[in-house]
Amino acid sequence: MGTLNQKGFSGDLFKWIFATIAGALIFIFLYRFAFQHVDLSDTLQSRTLVQYLDDHLSALGISDHSSSVINLPAPESLFFQCGSVGVAGYSQDVHKLLFGPGHVDTDRLNVWAEQWSYPFPIADLYYLTTPRTRVLIIYDEASVSFVQKLDVPQGMNVQMIAKKSLKLEDLKQQSSTLDQIHLIYLMPVHDVKTITSSLKGLTVHLVEVDLKTKTLKYHNDQTKMFYLGDAMLYGAFFAPDQYDCLQNKALERFWQAADLMKERALLLRTKTDDAFCKDVLFEASKVLESMMNVDEGEVLQHAMEKLEGQNNLLEKRDCLLVY
Amino acid sequence: MKRGQVEINETLLVLFVIVLLLIVGMVMYFRFSLAKVETLGDTLDEQESTVLLAQASTFPEFRCNDRDCMDTSKFLPFRTTVHTYAPFYTSSLGYKKITVSQVYPLTTNVLCTLELYSQDAYPENCGFWMLYDRQPTPLKQAITASTFVSLYFPEIDEYRIGRLEVTRYA
């Protein structure tokens, strides 16, 4: 090993320093390259998975009232945030009304698609759940007829139970291995504290539905919301914590559909010579216009009833229909 | 040249060759990776288009109420809706062209417009509707897929056979 001589560094010492610096630079370069490659592979894999989920959901939406199971090759950490699907750091807005858990680690998703019409076609709604999420619909005598009509696919892990048969202690025992439990009360809830304390230790989402006023209350954060049609209500069964945001997205789609139907009514009006039909179609277009940018459930429900009346009137007189 | 200088030159040469080999390797690797990513992108786009073709006829914007068909009276209003809600449609549909043409009974190959719609001869006076069209610049390629659909004309309360075409631009 060389040391300092009269002329400065010896050749050997220079070579060692040079090789060390060059080696370190090459090592850093390769190290960074390897990490970038891993990042790229992960992003590609995540993007492919999101696209796979999106395509699967789109295909499901083709037919009305269809359900399916999406099996993933390996357990994944999935995020469903107000219409966006995310996997491991990559997120994409799939432009769908997806009612599902905010975050879930799973290799199996149960999916259900339903066409949302109120009363004209508006959008396809998608509901997602996992085997580790349980939805319990609690009914009383006043809401039993609604439950009897309810047609939720079996795989969605939704159970109906009469309030008098509900035993919270048993429920806690049965649900101890689950990620979360959604309690949907189709009646006023007066004993929120008793329910939450009885199910302490479980992740519980508590929703109170008023079928008469078509409103719901999410007790976890005291949010009051509304729904337009049963398909939208089902969204609260599967994504109670995200319903508020998804309700706004759903409203935007509703306004789009109302706008299109308004234009359609005005167009059809030009195709009839009957003065009565012309008048009712024009009035209907005004009702549809009045719905635009309105975010009050009661106002929209009232307008919809008016529109239904106008449509029935047109049907009776053998006119062209609004929807 | 002194011995020390020769050794340094040798070291530099070896280093240069190693770096050169690394760079060549990297360039080749990136080129293969890029080709792989592009192929994957094309495959995903193709899948998306196939799903879109199957799905488009059931879009709430076009579909009949309670029936498995496309409501032609929604086609012209949809053009207005696309403009009004441009951000939503451009991001959800992307660079695509969606057209619907009447196949049976055969009519003229004329684009249906509001002007033609208002005429008494409608729907015999036109044959196809342009529902959506957004092209990238520059346009590299366009791949079209089509399927048969059932068309409903509420104005004459009649069903006809049509063809739905989805063109994917790249």
What local confidence, expressed as pLDDT, does residue B1 receive?
65
pLDDT at A96 over 60: yes
Q: Residue written as tokens 């229909």?
A: A321
What is the distance in angstroms between the Cα of B138 and the nearest Cα belonging to chain A? Answer: 25
Report pLDDT digits (tens) over A255-298: 999 999 999 999 999 999 999 999 999 999 999 999 999 999 99
Helix (H, G, I), strand (E, B) or coil at A216: strand
The residue type found at A274 is: D
Strands of A82-236, DSSP E: 84-87, 90-93, 97-99, 103-117, 121-129, 133-139, 158-162, 180-185, 204-210, 215-218, 223-226
Range with the poorest average pLDDT among A161-165, B56-60, B68-72: B56-60
Q: Where are the domains of chain A?
A: 249-316
Beta bridge partners of A217: A208, A224
Report pLDDT digits (tens) over A200-216: 989 999 999 999 999 99
The Cα B83–Cα A248 span in angstroms is 21
Q: Summarize the confidence of residues B10-30 as an average pLDDT.
A: 86
Report pLDDT digits (tens) over A59-79: 888 877 789 999 988 888 999
Q: Where are the domains of chain B?
A: 57-169
Cβ proximity of B72 and B153 under 8 Å: yes
B84, A259: Cβ pair inside 8 Å? Answer: yes
More confident residue, B125 or A42: B125
Q: Which helix (H) or strand (E) holds A265?
A: helix A243-269
The Cα B64–Cα A120 span in angstroms is 9
Q: Is B79 on the interface with A (CB under 8 A)?
A: no
The residue type found at B115 is: E
Q: Is B144 on the interface with A (CB under 8 A)?
A: no
Q: Is B15 on the interface with A (CB under 8 A)?
A: yes
The Cα B47–Cα B35 span in angstroms is 18
Q: Is B23 on the interface with A (CB under 8 A)?
A: no
Chain B residues touching A263 at Cβ < 8 A: 76-77, 80-81
Beta bridge partners of B160: B151
Query: DSSP class of residue A155?
Result: G
Name which of B12, B39, B62, B65 to mutate to probe chain A: the one with the most chain A Cβ atoms within 10 A of its Cβ: B65
Tokens of A279: 């008048």
pLDDT at A12 over 80: no
pLDDT at A10 over 70: no
The Cα B36–Cα A40 span in angstroms is 12
What local confidence, expressed as pLDDT, does residue B62 receive?
94
Residue B5 CB neighbours (<10 A): 10
Cβ proximity of A246 and A99 under 8 Å: yes
A270, B117: Cβ pair inside 8 Å? Answer: yes
Rg (CA), chain A: 29
Is the alpha carbon torsion for A197, A199, A203, A204 positive or negative?
A: negative
Q: Is B119 on the interface with A (CB under 8 A)?
A: no
* Dihedral angle computed from the Cα positions of residues A319, A313, A215 and A84, in that order, rounded to the nearest 10 degrees: 0
pLDDT at A2 over 70: no
CB hemisphere CA count around B149 (13 angstroms): 30
A15, B11: Cβ pair inside 8 Å? Answer: yes
Question: Of B40, B60, B77, which has the smallest distance from its Cβ to A267's Cβ?
Answer: B77
pLDDT at A159 over 80: yes
More confident residue, A129 or B19: A129
Cβ proximity of B150 and B69 under 8 Å: yes
Question: Of B55, B61, B65, which has the smallest distance from its Cβ to A62's Cβ?
Answer: B55
Q: Is B154 on the interface with A (CB under 8 A)?
A: yes
What mean pLDDT, rounded, does chain A reach? Answer: 91
- Name the closest residue on chain A to residue B30, using Cα atoms: A37
Note the pTM of the prediction, 2 decimals: 0.86
Q: Which helix (H) or strand (E) holds B77?
A: helix B75-84
Apex A272 CA angle, A267 and A277, nearest 5: 95
A26, B63: Cβ pair inside 8 Å? Answer: no
Burial class of A8 by CB neighbour count within 10 A (0 to 12, 13 to 18, 19+):
exposed
Q: Could you tell me the pLDDT band of residue A306, with boundaries at 50, 70 and 90?
A: very high
- Name the closest residue on chain A to residue B36, using Cα atoms: A44
What local confidence, expressed as pLDDT, does residue B7 receive?
76
pLDDT at A9 over 70: no
Supply φ then ψ for residue B147, to 5 degrees. Answer: -150, 155
Report pLDDT digits (tens) over A33-53: 888 888 888 888 888 899 889
- Name the closest residue on chain A to residue B68, using Cα atoms: A63
Q: Is B52 on the interface with A (CB under 8 A)?
A: yes
- Name the closest residue on chain A to residue B154, using Cα atoms: A320
Please report, for chain B, how many H helices and E strands are present, in that order: 4, 5
Q: Is B3 on the interface with A (CB under 8 A)?
A: yes
A62, B58: Cβ pair inside 8 Å? Answer: yes
Crossing angle for the helix pair B75-84 and A243-269, to the nearest 10 degrees:
130
What local confidence, expressed as pLDDT, does residue A1 receive?
45
B74, A264: Cβ pair inside 8 Å? Answer: yes
What local confidence, expressed as pLDDT, does residue B5 receive?
79
What is the distance in angstroms between the Cα of B112 and the nearest Cα belonging to chain A? Answer: 13
Question: Of B47, B54, B61, which has the smallest distance from its Cβ to A62's Cβ?
Answer: B54
Query: DSSP class of residue B74?
Result: G
The Cα A127–Cα A66 span in angstroms is 11
Name which of A263, A268, A272 to mutate to probe chain B: the one with the most chain B Cβ atoms within 10 A of its Cβ: A263
